[in-house]
Amino acid sequence: MNPDIECAPCTLKWIYERAEVLADEESRFQLSRSILRALSQEFCSDANLGSVTNKVIDVIDDFKSYSAEYFEFFKFISNQHARELLSAAKLFITKGETGQEKFVRACCLASASNIAPIGGPPETFKFQDVIDIILGKNPLPIVMGDVFEAAKKAKQILYLADNAGEIGFDSLLIAYLKELGSKVTLIVKKDPFFEDATMKDASFFHLDRSTDGLATASGFFVPNESPSSLTDSFKESDLVISKGTGNYEALKDEIRGKTAIFMLKVKCKPIAMKIGVNVGSFVVKVEK
């Protein structure tokens, strides 16, 4: 995805808020300068926004590593809350009357779990949007395109995870994909990477055993800018399933003729305009 003008301050804010959590005042000034300097070098209208974010984060790698202790606690809480909801989530999915309805429900719960816990109150980690859908208090996320048909046709699926905690709901969707006969390769982040899911979080939900491949990316996966093993998995896939804003920014307009399913909460105007929904909407969208 190419950036809009307002993506620059948003990227600055997103990275700064995560990297500064354990820094002192003087270090925060240094952090701000480093982010601004890297953004000024990388940010342009024809850049890939995911690539820009990766390059800026590389510059502040020490801060990323230093903040890892802070995020370990919140990721643990998020994983625990997600695990407590999985039985109810499974029951909600199985109540679908057809295979298609069950699959859509699994996609919708995965989408509704796409929250950003950074800076939020403790309730943020309890996945209230998922709970409200299960209880019938909230409607399902917006589904755009035939996600079930896209999944049925796929033999090789590349699944890009987003945050810890929500990866638990991804595990339910991945289990359904396996029932359809698909082989699933899951990509998580190489530790440390803020609140994003890593190998440790994938193992917490036994995804190291239930997927056909589990790999790590040092940042957001951008085709042809990632290690050859990840790029090969992308090229071999029939379907790409992408969770969250960062993966959307890195993959939008980069899928090169493949089918993709994007699942996310739309948190900004540029993405809302591209998808055609209101800010704040949860979305499951097929793109070819």
Q: Where are the domains of the chain?
A: 7-66, 86-287
Answer yes or no: are the C-beta atoms of 189 and 198 closer than 8 Å: yes
Answer yes or no: are the C-beta atoms of 120 and 200 closer than 8 Å: no
- pLDDT at 120 exceeding the cut of 90: no
- pLDDT at 156 exceeding the cut of 70: yes
pTM above 0.85, yes or no: yes
pLDDT tens digits, 18-28: 999 999 999 99
CATH of region 86-287: 3.40.50.10880
pLDDT tens digits, 198-210: 999 999 999 999 9
Strands 259-265 and 282-287: antiparallel
Tokens of 83: 């695990």
- pLDDT at 78 exceeding the cut of 60: yes
Least confident of 18-22, 109-113, 124-128, 183-187: 124-128
For a pLDDT cut of 90, what percent of the chain falls above it?
92
Strands 282-287 and 239-243: unpaired
Neighbours of 143 (CB within 10 A): 19
Residue 160 confidence (pLDDT): 98
| Strand ranges, E, within 66-219 | 142-144, 156-160, 183-189, 213-217
Distance CA(211)–CA(285), nearest Å, equals: 23
